[in-house]
Structure 1
Amino acid sequence: MPASLPLTKYHQIYLVLREQLQEGRFVHGLPGELELTRQFGVGRVTVRRALEQLVEEGLIVREAGRGTRPTTRAEQGIKPTASADAAHTTTRLSGLLENIVSVSRSTSVKVLDWRLIHASAEIAAALQIPEGAPLRKAVRRRSASAGPVSHITTYVPEALVQGFGRRELAHKPILQLLEESGIELGRARQTVSARQADAQVAAELQVAVGTALLSVRRLVYDSHDRPVQLLHGLYRPDRYEYQMELSQVGAIDARIVAKEILP
């Protein structure tokens, strides 16, 4: 584990294992403590503390004589809808898509990751697919002239990824690529909240670990009301703002504004 990161070793291990759990890597159970100590080059006490943190958050179950496994969807109490403690918005995707494409033209994208994973309980519930189903995970960093703006992680069912890959992701938003592949987009449900930057995101966005970031969770549906994309976006609030215009009671027109800060 990198000694230069301003995080305890157990917390670094916890962050790595949490991400791997979200990607569905441990369908058949987590490695044992001794194997994890070899993988991370730390002592058993450090690994045990990381595992205890995952247990406290309800992400894994440790059973004597049977090892450690991810919790099931039922054990986590996961529902397809977003949590009720954040601001929710259901938008008309046509106008939202136009704004996303408009913002993309004024920024550049670096594709950090593009690979096949298996749906965790949480992601499977959101996308309404079986747990362990194949997904494409894309991680991108978007930058403006002032520097990094956002760190975006997107999940799309593998069956919907047709005719595009890492190269196309560097030039077009995934929603646009989905439309071009024949998917008719419908609505989107968003959750807007806040989150602190962990070590990996902080490095990409060039901020200190623990910096408050704008967090957007977007679940996109097609015209048949089937989920086609789950997005988790983290944005620097000094370079990005999210605006919603309420045109009339009961109707919401969302506008996204990328705000550049001069050096």
Structure 2
Amino acid sequence: MTVHAPETLPEGGKARMVYLSLRDEISNGDFTEGALLPGENRLAEAFGVSRITVRRALDALAAEGWIKKRTGAGSVVLPRPDGDTRIAANFATLMPQLVEMEHRTTARLLSFSYGPAPDGVASALGLAKRSTVQTAVRVRYADEQAFSHLTTHVPETIARNYGETDLATQPLFRLLERSGVLVESAYQSVTATLAAPDVADALGVSVGAPLLSLRRVVRDAEGRGVEHLSALYRPELFRLEMRLTRVGAGEARHWEPVIGAAET
């Protein structure tokens, strides 16, 4: 089994660009196990950089166990640990899948505290400025590998119904429901961001490494905000998928997501 070491970005912006591009191609299966990467000259030409820049990127990939450099024979792609360990989620049914994920993975609680809500959190939850919220930071693991960094904010009136030990051992949704919250709806968005020092350390990546960023606001049956989640995912370990179908007729024919479709 090949173990991928914590990510170490090579020096130089161009080398990092080559490194990230090649790593994503390997992670996405464009270069499969045992495949040979193009030679340094071809890579340099394709990316418009020098051979030294390409060499730095390949050295970083080799140090992390993505490839093996063979003198005079190019770089070969190594097998992923225990096959493909990425967590996959269908974007059309993302909410229930993320809840189910909490039951299939483990989490480590990094911090637990009460304090004033950040302005953006207070606004999203519909709270008065400086309202007290419980803030918890957790890292979630799949097969003992950190893949997500989760920061949750819950209004104090709800959060006082459970403690630090509960949150360290049980999914937050279960604790909210145990507290009498009737969850009704949620809004979430997905974008990209870069790893800050504390997040990079927790996920085992380099500062500035690209991450998927998911934000979610959960509301109860009366429309009150009950949870604000900021989740950061390692993109090589987590992917969003969506199955689409063409519906309608004539010029009105369009794409729609297939909700609840079985994956093949």
Alignment partner, residue 216 of structure 1: 214
Question: Does the 8 A contact of 2:195 with 2:209 survive in 1?
Answer: yes
Give 1:132's match in structure 2, choosing from 130, 133, 148. 130
RMSD: 2.8
Q: Distance in 1 between matches of 2:129 and 2:165?
A: 29
Distance 1:167 1:234, change over 3 A: same
Give the drift of 1:109. 0.7
Q: Distance in 1 between matches of 2:260 and 2:188?
A: 10
Per-residue CA deviation, residues 20-73 of structure 1 (Å, 9 max, x unaligned), is xxxxxxxxxxxxxxxxxxxxxxxxxxxxxxxxxxxxxxxxxxxxxxxxxxxxxx
Alignment partner, residue 140 of structure 2: 142
Alignment partner, residue 236 of structure 1: 234
Give 1:167's match in structure 2, choosing from 128, 153, 165. 165
1:132 partner SS: coil
Question: Does the 8 A contact of 1:245 with 1:254 survive in 2?
Answer: no
Distance 1:231 1:254, change over 3 A: farther
Percent sequence identity over aligned pairs: 34
Give the drift of 1:185. 0.5
- Tell me which moved more, 100-109 or 195-204: 100-109
Q: Distance in 1 between matches of 2:172 and 2:111?
A: 14
Q: Which has the larger radius of gyration?
A: 2
Alignment partner, residue 197 of structure 2: 199
Give 1:120's match in structure 2, choosing from 115, 118, 123. 118
Unaligned runs of 5+ in 2: 1-8, 10-90, 248-254
Alignment partner, residue 178 of structure 2: 180
2:175 partner SS: helix
1:202 partner SS: helix
Give the drift of 1:100. 2.8
Unaligned runs of 5+ in 1: 1-5, 7-89, 258-263
TM-score of the pair, normalised by structure 1:
0.56
Amino acid at match of 1:159: T
Question: Does the 8 A contact of 2:107 with 2:168 survive in 1?
Answer: yes
Q: Distance in 2 between matches of 1:220 and 1:235?
A: 19
Amino acid at match of 2:148: S
Q: Distance in 2 between matches of 1:175 and 1:254?
A: 21
> What is the count of residue pairs matched by the alignment?
165
Give 1:107's match in structure 2, choosing from 105, 108, 122. 105
5 Å matches for 1:19-38?
none
Amino acid at match of 1:164: Y
5 Å matches for 1:237-252?
237-244=235-242
1:170 partner SS: helix
